[in-house]
Structure 1
Amino acid sequence: MTTVLSSLKVIARPEIAPKPPVLGKRMKLLDKLEQQLSLAECMIEGREFEAYKERSVKDAETGERKKIRRRYIVRPWFYDSDNHYYFEVRISNKPVELQKGCPAIDVGDKAKLPEVIKVVIDAVEKGELDEQLLAPAPKIGKKASADTTAANEKSSTDKTTTEKQTAKPGK
């Protein structure tokens, strides 16, 4: 007697290798660069750029969760000085040094901005910024200053302990 399941090819579960973390970071940077490209194109055309995120919000009256679209502000990674434009690639909202001590890309005319962003997108897709993506993010905010303060206090405590141990007894 044959069954429907016997017509299927059944195998042992194959090993699935985990994806390297750089791929997720690369995709996130590509999404941000696509936003910057759209923002630059809108600026050149004189249109307003709008970006939306879906948020889950609880309705106060019914208690149901609904998804709504909320508009958010995208800050440009490009800036101008006397109508001469520059572009910075940002990771964790910090400019990335593409060469030692040089985080900005000289664009020139604002019409060239989308072209430059497309070149950066191509470089990210080819993995040219993987080293910067995998670098540890710099500590910012209160926790970083608290860690620095704690380290300074520890070193000063160590100094006073050493001084006490080397001091002559009875004085």
Structure 2
Amino acid sequence: MSHLAKLNLKTVHRNVQKDPVLARREKLAAGIEEQGRVLAAALAGDEYTVKVKRWETNETGERTRVERDKRVRAWFFEQDGGWYVQCRYGSRILNINGKSNAVFVDRLQDVGAVLEAFKKAAETGELDKAVALATKARSS
């Protein structure tokens, strides 16, 4: 008797794909949460970095895995006597209401409220249309 004949064999198709809309919402919400950490570091006077692993060649010519700091760029910047906050999906700036791409606040401390509003809008699907336009423009 064959070794495979003892096993309970079945045919199955694995479904690993998420709903693309939900995946985009989660990615956007994660980016906004990271910007909250960038803001906290900016308020403390620090620079926010994340650890990334890279392959580099050392002095002996061997390829080794090295951990480096990578700076995370802020979605907010100072201009015109206040702070502008933009919502991004990847490297694309989202048009929040179809034509405006930034929110203006007077103080750096007010940026947190804008990021929280962006996060709630992303979770409820208010930014789905803007994200779809940004991803469509990228693929063209």
Normalised to the residue count of structure 1, the TM-score between the two structures is: 0.61
- RMSD over aligned Cα, in angstroms? 3.0
Identity of paired residues, percent? 23
Cα displacement (A) at 1:48: 2.5
- CA 1:50–1:59: 2 relative to 1, 3 Å: same
Distance (Å, rounded) in 1 between the aligned partners of 2:52 and 2:131: 24
- Residue 122 of structure 2 aligns with which residue? 124
User: What is the correspondence of 1:22-37 to structure 2 with a 5 Å cutoff?
Assistant: 22-37=21-36
Distance (Å, rounded) in 1 between the aligned partners of 2:56 and 2:88: 30
With CA pairs under 8 Å and 6+ residues apart, which has the higher RCO, 1 or 2? 2
Runs of 5+ consecutive residues of structure 2 not aligned to the other structure: 1-10
- Residue 102 of structure 1 aligns with which residue? 100
Q: Is the 8 A contact 2:47 2:71 kept in 1?
A: no
Cα displacement (A) at 1:116: 1.3
Cα displacement (A) at 1:59: 6.6
Distance (Å, rounded) in 2 between the aligned partners of 1:64 and 1:104: 43
Runs of 5+ consecutive residues of structure 1 not aligned to the other structure: 1-11, 145-171
3-state SS, counterpart of residue 131 of structure 2: helix
- Greater Cα radius of gyration, structure 1 or 2: 1
Distance (Å, rounded) in 1 between the aligned partners of 2:86 and 2:56: 35
User: What is the correspondence of 1:135-150 to structure 2 with a 5 Å cutoff?
Assistant: 135=133, 136-138=136-138
User: What is the correspondence of 1:1-171 to structure 2 with a 5 Å cutoff?
Assistant: 16=15, 18-56=17-55, 66=65, 68-135=66-133, 136-138=136-138
Cα displacement (A) at 1:113: 0.8
Q: What amino acid maps onto 2:19 in structure 1?
A: P
Q: Is the 8 A contact 2:52 2:70 kept in 1?
A: yes
1:7-66 CA deviation, whole Å, 9 max, x = no partner? Answer: xxxxx9698584211222222222221221111111112122222223355777595764
- Residue 5 of structure 2 aligns with which residue? none
Q: Is the 8 A contact 1:50 1:71 kept in 2?
A: yes
Normalised to the residue count of structure 2, the TM-score between the two structures is: 0.73
